[in-house]
Structure 1
Amino acid sequence: MSSTDHTAPGDDRPGDSSGQSSGQSSGEPSGTVERAFRAALYDTADAALDTGASLLAADRAADAELARRGADFVATAWRRGWQPADLVRLVRRELDDVHVGLVSQLILTQARDDRARGRRWAAQLAELSAETPPAPVTDRFSHATTVLELYRLLLRLPALEPLEEREPHRQSSPGSHSRMLTRIRALLAKAEATGYPQEAEALTAKAQELMARHSVDEALLDAQATAPDAPGACRIGVEPPYEQAKAVLLNAVADANHCRAVWNEPFGFSTVVGFEADLESVELLYTSLLVQAQSAMARAEAAQRAGGRKRTKTFRQSFLAAYAHRIGTRLGEVTAAAETQVNDELLPVLASREVAVTAATDRMFPATVSTRLRGVTDEAGWTEGAEAADRARMRSRPRLP
C-alpha cells in the first residue's frame, strides 16, 4: 500500500483579501473583519479567538463581508486542489457538526458563481445540498466563534494534487453506461442487504462480472477511437476507525480493476488513478465490500460474545486487516484468471492502458512510501476476517470476448 505526504503552500492566504481592505477604517464592515482576522486567524490562542468573535458580534454590518470572505476561502481551497467532499471530510474530522454545516453552506453558496467542474464534482454538490440542514439559531458571539474556528482551518489548508475529471470522448450506445451502472448498483445493494453469505457472494460476483465486461468493452472502444481517452483520478474517503485496514482493502480493489490507489492518511482519503469506467467500478465495489465487512464483523462479534469472549478494538482491527488481505489475494487470483481468457488481440490494448495508469500515477505522486499495518494482534479476529472475506469472494469471471 502506498501513501504520500503533503506540505502547505507558503503564500495564497485568502484571509488577507489581497490587501484590498487593510487600509480601510475600522468603522467599515471590511475594517471590522480585517481586525477580527488579525486578532483570531493567525493566533491560535483562545483569548485571540474571543477577541475576534467579540468584534464581529458587535458589528452586524460586517456579516455580509464575513460571508464573502468565507466564499473566498472556499474558492482558494479549490485552487489548492481540494474538492467539496474533501473539505467536508476534513472539517468533520477536525471540528464539530456546526462547523460541517457552515462549510457546507459556504460551498453551496460559492458554487452558484463557480464554473462547471465535472460530473463527480456536481454529484458532491448535490449530496451536500440534500444533506445540509438549516443553520441553527445561536447568539452572535457563538456564531462568530464558529466562523473564525472554521476559517482558521481553511486558512491552513495545504495544496493537494489537482484532479482532472476525464469524461469519455465517446459512448458505446445511448444510455448503455448508465444502465450498466444501475444493474451493478442494484446487485451490490442486494449483496449488502442479505443476511445469507452465499447469496451475497453470488450477487457480488455477478456485479464484478459486469464490471469486468464493461471495462473490456471500454478498452476496445477506446482503442478504436480517433482520440483515445487518458487516465483520470478521484478521491475516495478512508474514514477512521481502522483506516489502515480500509486503505488496504481499497488498494486491493483498485489493483483488481486496473487502477492505482495512493493513501493520504492525514486527510482521510485515497486518490485512485485509472480510466473512468474502472474508477466507477472501484468506487462501487469498495463501498459494497466495506459494508459487507462491517456487517460480517458485527455478526462475528455477536457470536464471540455469545461464547463468553469479550471482543476488543484489537479484534476489530485484526478482523478488517485479515478481510482486506484475503480479499486482495482472491481478487488477484480472479484478475489473473481473467487475463488468461482475453483474446490475444486485446492483450496489447489492456497492457497499454496499464502503462498509461502507472505513468499517470507516477506523475501525480513522484514520491510515495510503503505503509505497514499496525495493531494486528488478535488471532481470532484475523481468522474471522479471513473467513468473512472468503464468503465475499469473487468467483472467476466468464471468458471475455
Structure 2
Amino acid sequence: MDTEHDWITTPVTAELLRGAIDVEHTERGVLPHRLPAWARAQYDDGQLAMAESQPSGVRLVFRTRATVVELDALPLKRAYTGAPARPDGLYDLLVDGRPAGQASVAGGDTVTIDMSTGDTELRSGEPGTLRFTGLPDRLKDIEIWLPHNETTRLVALRSNAPVEPAPDHGRKVWLHHGSSISHGSDAASPTTTWPALAASLAGVELINLGLAGSALLDPFTARTLRDTSADLISVKLGINVVNTDLMRLRAFTPAVHGFLDTIREGHPTTPLLVVSPILCPIHEDTPGPTAWDMSALSAGRLRFQAAGDPADRDNGKLTLTVVREELARIVEQRAGDDPHLHYLDGRSLYGEADSAELPLPDDLHPDAATHRRIGERFAELAFAEDGAFGKSGS
C-alpha cells in the first residue's frame, strides 16, 4: 500500500457519480445537476436553479484499496439576513454500504438572502478540503454522499491508491420526485433524508429529484422523469402548488394528468406511485401562499404561516385536503387502464398522531427524527410484498 503522501489524483467524471442527471464542467470544478441543461434553460428561476444544483442523493461511488481519501470541493453556502447562521453542509462516508464517517468543507462561496426584500448578495470564496483517513486496507466500495442542501463543485479527488468506478450490483433504481421534504430540508445529513433512508432500507439505488419549492408539475420535470432510466418511480405532489398559490383546481387536475401522461411515455409499465402531501396543519384547510412568519423571524427563528383565506376553497383555491382528494380520484380514474399506477396518502407517512408527537418545527418541514419516521414508513408501505414496489404491487 502506498503511503498517504503518494497521492493519486483521479478526475471526477460522470462514471464516478450516481444520482446526478447532468454533470457540468466549469472553471471552478465539476458541478452535478439534478435537471438536464435543456430543462434548466426553459425557465430562469432562482429557487429552481438553487434546488436542482443542490446534490440531494448525489454521491461519489468508487472502488479502491486506499486508506486515505481527500476531496477538494467548492460549496455555495446560504445565509439569511437576521437569521441564525446555517451549519456547514455534511458529507457522509459509506464503506461497503455502512456509515464510516462525516466531514464538512468550510469556506466557499456565500449567497446572503434578505427575506424581507428577496435581494441576494454573492461573495466568492475558495475551495476547501475534506479528508477521510484510517479506511480499511482492502479492496472496498466507497460512497461519499454530497451535502443535500449545499450546491457543491467537485474540484479534485485524491487517494493513496488507485480509484476505479464501483461495479453495478444489479439493484433496482428508484426515481423519486417531490418537494423540499423529499429534497431533505432539515434532515441531519445526506444519507438521512427520508428518500435516502427508504432506499437504504429497501436495498435500491436512489435518484432523488426532490426539488425544494419546485415540485410544481413543470412539464420539463415530467420529461426528465420520462427520459431517466428507472425500475420504480414515485412522485410526491401538492404541497408546493399550495405553497405558491400557483393553480386553481381547474388547472391542477389537467396538469396532474399531463404529468403522469408524460412519465408514461417513457415508462409505460413501470410501477408508478403517486404520493399526496404529509400532514401540514397550516395548509390542511387554508390555501396558500405560504409566507414567512416575520414576528418569529425578528426573534431569530424561522417559521411559516398560511396567508390564504379558507373561504377561497369554494373559488377553486387549493388546500392539502383538496389536493389529496383530487390525487386519489385521479389515480382511481386512471388505474383501470394502468394497473401499475398506485396511490399513497401522505398522512400514512406522517399524520395526526405523528404531528402531536413530532410537530413540524417551522410549521412546514420535518426535523431529523421525522425524516427517519417517514423513510421507515415509506419503506414499510411502498416496498412491502403487496405495496406499489413489492412483487405483487408491481
Bin of the TM-score, shorter chain as denominator length: under 0.3
TM-score by length of 2: 0.26
TM-score (norm 1): 0.26
Report which of the two structures shows the higher radius of gyration computed on alpha carbons.
Answer: 1
Structure holding more strand per residue: 2
Higher helix share: 1
Q: Which has the higher contact order (CA 8 A, sep 6+)?
A: 1
